Amino acid sequence: MDFSNISLNGPQLESVMYTEGPLLILAGAGSGKTRVLTYRIAHLIDDCGVKPHNILAITFTNKAAKSMRDRVDSIVGGAAQSVWVSTFHSMCVRMLRRFGTMLGYTDTFSIYDSDDVKIVMRDLLKELNIDSKYVKEKAAMGTISAWKNTLTEPEDVVIQDNSFYEQQVLRVYRAYKEYMLKNNAMDFDDLIMNTVKLFKEHPDALDYWQNRFKYIMVDEYQDTNIAQFELVRLLAQKNRNLCVVGDDDQSIYKFRGADIHNILQFEDNYPDAKVVRLEQNYRSTQKILDIANAVITNNKERKVKKLWSDNHEDIAVNYMRYAGGNDEAVGVVSHIRRMHEKGIDYKDMAVLYRTNLQSRVFEEKLIQANIPYKIYGGINFYARKEIKDVLAYLKMFGNSSDDLSIKRIINIPKRGIGDTTVAKLVEFANEQNCSIIEAIDNPFLTASLGKSAAKVASFAESMREFDPSAIKSIKDFTSDIIEKIGYKDYLKTECETTEEYVERMDNINEFLSKAADYDANTENPNLAEFLQEISLLSDIDNLGSTDTVNLMTIHGSKGLEFKVVFLVGLEEGLFPHVRSLYSDDTTDIEEERRLFYVGVTRAMTYLYMSNAKERVNKGQFIRTEVSRFVDEVPPDMLGISHDFLKNNDVMKAMASSPKVSATKKKSPMKTLANPYQLGKNVKADSLDYGVGDRVAHVKFGMGTVKEIIERPKDFEVGVQFDEAGYKKMFAGFAKLKKI
């Protein structure tokens, strides 16, 4: 193979040519590692005379495996088909099909996915008389999976602090092992664990595969767990031609069992290993890489490396600190619109956040701006079950004829009203030509429902405690519903892990924040109006478009790249996540910093980092602290830095804005200074600005007055804002300030 015609840099070529003995390739983000692995395989076949079937390449996804196989095929032709390029699980299936009989399985064993396992867990919990209040199916699955990922058999489990929970799960684990063997089945964790077991208990099986695979390559090595590490170690120990590729700075899957020490301690496990660093980045500008390098160097557990690029485009990295979460979303959407006007496709832009619940406000602003978007790794905020449950209650109170909503919530929380009773209710309502609510109040209904009549009557009576006609605050009314129906307790019984419960409650609190925001910006809160606003925001027709803005968590963005990246919510407690701040494990903060590094290095040309001075949480304005990751960036690396609450001209001009009228009801949420509280519908008797003047608006920023029209009750002012575009508004409402 003539490498003079192949564009590989020095370290890349060195990685390709070094074929004998252990090799660690520390491949920084965007450094072309897939290209290196592809040419390394081709070099082994074409130049070293290695037979294709003696090469094993392990990846983490089927997509990556197919991509690598196709690339090798394009270089060496049909010979590539004999190279084993597969995921860990696919590899283990093939090995166990051949030698699984040694472990008591036939070669036709079944593979159970997570749904299958969940059903087995449910049956075993019943069989063992383990109360689901103490051990949830999903929680048991998670604990058992963690044990398997560390190659811990039931007899090796050490119960921590005499934990009752772990004792019960251990009982399930023992029964589960017996069940799976009896049913000739394995789950995904079993595939790896049983392959390791096969190799340790049956040396002849291990010897067969060691002789087969003389050259082994593992991609994304930083994401391997203990079981995968041991599997690779066993396969490679005879020939020792092991090449692992990875980046410790991108190790972000600890919660899945990944162990960063596998890559950090590679040289300890293989003292004669050669180490090659791929530090030239082919994705991002140097200004973006400078940010990533500056922050990640604060981690102690890492291999030293520094990304660099030949791309020295003079495009600044922007950092913006907005007044509130809504302002942050408005600002991001404004930048998206501007980028699109410059000719950048929506699909080349991404909004990256730490947790899925952050998507809601960005979804809303994108819909309002008629910008198509798609959420990856999550679902539309208003499509989440807990949000649909709460909305169904509100819709029922807003429209008593909404049978769909009533059918949804009549047994949420559990009231002993089953599907049969609901069917009878619907049948009776149809016969009487009335709504379900009206049917419930019909004295003749009792005969149709029998014993269930009392439960339905109890439901109706509990709903009469709420008076939608007396609503003064949508947030308070919604909170009252959640509290009185016992929805939090219901979620506790429905959720299978503490993490799931916390996530769902976070979504509920985010919805309450939306309601509180509506209250704060509405003179007379109205349930029908609020529901209409929500219904419009729930319109997700644009999600099918191919040219869409990408919304995703940073975890979900790994391996991807975008021309424009918005890294949002950079606040202590949000990013880094609050769990890492209170964790006893100090390395959790380092994992959060690696996550920041991954987010930054997704950007190719434009990077916008932002946060909010205040956020609404559970109806309260909470002041936030700037993320430590922002503080770790030298100020001179940020080309434009705005503090939209303290330092810029807009907020200085707003400092003297009149407060909301004393006669307006103050919402309980307003415990902190509210930057959004401005007078509303107040006639502006005189204006201190005219056409052509520069003015400031608390939300839209600075702009130029283009027209002033006197109306019967107020002046209508047209302003061309620098960021938000052209807006028309009444002067008394807008409270513009001349600057």
On the question of a cis peptide bond just before residue 372, with omega within 30 degrees of 0, the verdict is no
Whether residue 92 is found in the same domain as residue 201: yes
698 with 548: CB under 8 angstroms? no
88-99 and 188-201 helices, crossing angle to 10°: 50
43 with 217: CB under 8 angstroms? no
Report the C-alpha gap between 599 and 595 in whole angstroms: 6
The domain boundary, picked from 183, 205, 233, lies at 183
Q: What is the pLDDT of residue 686?
A: 67
Whether residue 231 is found in the same domain as residue 342: no
Q: What is the pLDDT of residue 293?
A: 98
Q: In whole angstroms, how far apart are CA 387 and each of 265, 363, 383, 390?
A: 46, 15, 7, 5
Q: What is the pLDDT of residue 539?
A: 38
Q: Residue 546 sits in a domain of what CATH number?
A: 3.40.50.300
Whether residue 87 is found in the same domain as residue 208: yes
The domain boundary, picked from 156, 183, 210, lies at 183
Q: Residue 722 sits in a domain of what CATH number?
A: 2.40.10
Q: How many CA atoms lie within 13 A of 167 on its CB side?
A: 4
Whether residue 552 is found in the same domain as residue 630: yes
Residue 22 inside a domain? The answer is yes
Residue 431 inside a domain? The answer is no
* Average pLDDT per consecutive 10 residues, the chain (739 residues; last block may be shorter): 83 96 97 94 93 94 82 83 89 92 87 80 91 86 95 93 90 93 88 97 97 97 97 97 97 92 97 97 96 97 96 93 92 95 95 92 91 80 86 85 81 88 84 83 77 85 86 92 92 79 88 87 83 57 63 91 96 93 89 98 97 81 91 86 45 34 29 29 60 80 83 76 76 78
* Structural domain of 730: 674-738
Q: In whole angstroms, how far apart are CA 690 and each of 94, 330, 703, 708, 715?
A: 78, 27, 12, 7, 11
Residue 153 inside a domain? The answer is yes
The three-state secondary structure class of 37 is: helix
Whether residue 13 is found in the same domain as residue 69: yes
Residue 162 Rama label (left phi>0; alpha psi -120 to 50; beta): left
242 with 24: CB under 8 angstroms? no
DSSP-assigned beta bridge partners for residue 217: 57, 243
Whether residue 571 is found in the same domain as residue 713: no
What's the Rg (C-alpha) of the chain? Answer: 30
The domain boundary, picked from 280, 308, 334, lies at 280
Whether residue 559 is found in the same domain as residue 582: yes
Residue 171 inside a domain? The answer is yes
Whether residue 548 is found in the same domain as residue 643: yes
Residue 256 inside a domain? The answer is yes
**3-state percent helix, strand, coil for the chain, nearest multiple of 5:** 50, 15, 35
Q: Residue 156 sits in a domain of what CATH number?
A: 1.10.10.160
Whether residue 44 is found in the same domain as residue 79: yes
Count of the separate structural domains present in the chain: 4
CB crowding 352-375: b at 16 or more within 10 Å, else e: bbbbbbbbbbbbbbbbeeebbbbb
DSSP-assigned beta bridge partners for residue 243: 23, 217
Residue 302 inside a domain? The answer is no
Whether residue 88 is found in the same domain as residue 16: yes
User: Catalytic residues, which ones?
Assistant: 33-34, 219-220, 250, 602
569 with 575: CB under 8 angstroms? yes
Q: What is the pLDDT of residue 284?
A: 96
Q: Amino acid letter at 140?
A: A
567 with 258: CB under 8 angstroms? no
Residue 417 inside a domain? The answer is no
Q: What is the pLDDT of residue 461?
A: 86
Residue 234 inside a domain? The answer is yes
Whether residue 122 is found in the same domain as residue 83: no
> Is the dihedral angle over the CA atoms 172, 175, 181, 184 positive or is it negative?
negative
Whether residue 89 is found in the same domain as residue 19: yes
